[in-house]
Amino acid sequence: MVEMTIESVRVSLMNYQRVVILKEKEADRYLPIWIGPAEAEAIALRLQEVPVARPLTHDLLNSVIGALGATVRLTADPAEVAAAERLIVPGVGAAGFAMARLTELGLVQPVRDFPRPLLGVCLGQQLLFETSEEGGGTPMLGLIPGQVRRLQPGPGRTVPHMGWSRLEIVRDDPLLEDLDEESWAYFVHSFVCPDGPATRARAEYGGAVPAVVRMANRWGCQFHPERSSRTGARILRNFLELPA
């Protein structure tokens, strides 16, 4: 049996998945193993003895928001979170693992109590809701009523929902200012939030997909604004211009 070690976790820009690079001990042979985002995120966060690429979402968000003139700080310090002018909660991977990490880092209550503008991105939007059926049932932040459910595949419709979808604005909101009916956004997700009073914009994927939600000072984007060209940049700028 050939003994292999995990050398690194890298990001593929081509299909938004991650690849685990296995290295054969005592040799220079590398074997790439492609896995989905949830499994890769779990590996990336648990491994501490190997170099791990920071999640693509965080890097792009930092770059885009920085280009819009804001000062960005990536932190897991509860005191820094509580003192921030505004807060972005990005996420990829599994809801259960994300909530476990927030709990482990002491961030659940600071995020729940945050009184200024807060934006959840992708999994970060889903975490705003009460529960997810992922993993047999996962309690989440409980800031917006409802349960996150798995997307259902159908003819010509695979899961995950991955690609560009048009946004339909259903309620005016300052986060959506200057967007129009030809605003498109880039989605990568396997679970969908409930469509209800919090929905501000929808996409269509075999049914309504709440693409932007809001409850009080908490907003969520199911899509990736950092990958959504002018639409995403406009939404991030609007977020930065919200009164803090």
Q: One of 41, 122, 161, 193 is an active-site residue; which one?
A: 122
Q: How many other C-beta atoms are found inside a 10 Å radius of the C-beta of residue 95?
A: 23
Alpha-carbon span 64 to 134, nearest angstrom: 30
Q: Alpha helix locations (H) across the chain?
A: 37-46, 56-67, 78-83, 95-104, 108-113, 123-127, 229-241
User: Which value, in Å, is the radius of gyration of the alpha carbons in the chain?
Assistant: 18
Alpha-carbon span 81 to 92, nearest angstrom: 19
Q: One of 134, 189, 193, 224 is an active-site residue; which one?
A: 224
Do residues 74 and 61 lie in contact, with contact meaning Cβ atoms separated by under 8 Å? no
Q: 230-233 long-range contacts, Cβ below 8 Å, gap at least 24?
A: 231/167, 231/179, 231/183, 231/184, 231/185, 232/64, 232/185, 232/186, 233/64, 233/68
219 contacts: CB under 8 Å, gap ≥ 6? 117, 118, 119, 120, 173, 175, 200, 212, 213, 239
Tell me whether residue 226 is one of the annotated catalytic residues.
yes
Tell me whether residue 49 is one of the annotated catalytic residues.
no
| Torsion angle of C-alpha atoms 74, 79, 84, 87, degrees rounded to 10 | 60
Tell me whether residue 193 is one of the annotated catalytic residues.
no
Q: One of 41, 134, 193, 226 is an active-site residue; which one?
A: 226
In angstroms, the first-to-last Cα distance of the chain is 59
Total count of residues recorded for the chain: 244
Give the H or E element holding residue 130.
Answer: strand 129-132
Active site residues: 122, 224, 226
